[in-house]
Structures are given as structure tokens and as C-alpha cells.
Structure 1
Amino acid sequence: MSASAAAVAPIPANAENRYEVTRADLPLSCPMPGMGLWNSHPKVYLPIVDDGGESVCPYCGARYVLSD
């Protein structure tokens, strides 16, 4: 695999249990942009600001924490 192909490879969707996100990532969705979608669940938007800075995806259980 070439270096350029590795640089654009998507992050595996639902591979982690906890993700730290910033306000630049808002509006927050799971899976996030840049994640591979072929083996993931439907996109769902998470109200992380309304949830006090932490949201959990109802499909995969990934926990998102707002770091700023």
C-alpha cells in the first residue's frame, strides 16, 4: 500500500469505545465523518452539548466526550 493510500484510509467505524471530540466536530454524528461506513450502523446525530458534554450512541454504545 502506498503512503498516500494509507493517509486517506478511513478510520474504522465503531472501533473505539470512547472518543474525545471538540466543538469543531459539531454537529456530532455517529459514525463521524472520516470513518468507514460500509460496516457501520445508520448515521445518528448526538446532542452532546444538551447532554452535558457526554453522549452515547444508541446503536453501538460509543461514548463521545466533549473536550472543550
Structure 2
Amino acid sequence: MPENQDKTQPIAVSAHELPLHCPQPDAPLWARHPRVFLDVTKTGDAKCPYCGAHYVLQGEAPKGH
């Protein structure tokens, strides 16, 4: 595996889970950091600047706004 490749599996999210924020509510206490909202609707994915978690939107992006 190349050095710059992320070693974690992407976390799939659906339109139902938006607005997306990290950490997720079920994250263990040791994995908590300040909440940051991530926009997966423009490119289909986003990476948390704190922990590096990679989120990928599955299905269609929500319509509106």
C-alpha cells in the first residue's frame, strides 16, 4: 500500500444521515474531537480534518435548497 493512501475503510452515508458531522454519535469516547460538519453532496465524499475519517455518499444526493 502506498504511503499516502488512507488505511481506513470509507464510511458510507446516505441522504437520510445529512447534515453529516464527525464524530458520529456512536463514536467511542476516546475517538471524540470537536464536531465538524462535512459536505458530501458536492463531490460525493469528504474527509474529516481532525481524524481523517473518509465519508462517501451512497445513493442520490438530496434535492432542494
TM-score (norm 2): 0.69
Matched, 1:57 2:48: yes
Distance in 1, Cα, partners of 2:9 & 2:51: 9
Q: Could you say which residue in structure 2 is the equivalent of 1:4?
A: none
Distance in 2, Cα, partners of 1:26 & 1:53: 12
Give every structure 1 segment of 4 or more consecutive aligned residues whose post-TM-superposition deviation is greater than 6 Å: none
Secondary structure in 1 matching 2:49: coil
Count of matched residue pairs: 51
- Runs of at least 5 residues in structure 2 that lack an aligned partner in the other structure: 1-7, 60-65
- Runs of at least 5 residues in structure 1 that lack an aligned partner in the other structure: 1-15
> For residues 19-51 of structure 1, what are the alpha-carbon distances to aligned partners after superposition, in whole Å with 9 as ceiling and x for unaligned?
000001100001112223x2211110001112x
Q: Could you say which residue in structure 2 is the equivalent of 1:41?
A: 33
Q: Give 1:17 deviation, angstroms.
A: 4.0
Identity %: 41
TM-score (norm 1): 0.66
Q: Could you say which residue in structure 2 is the equivalent of 1:7?
A: none
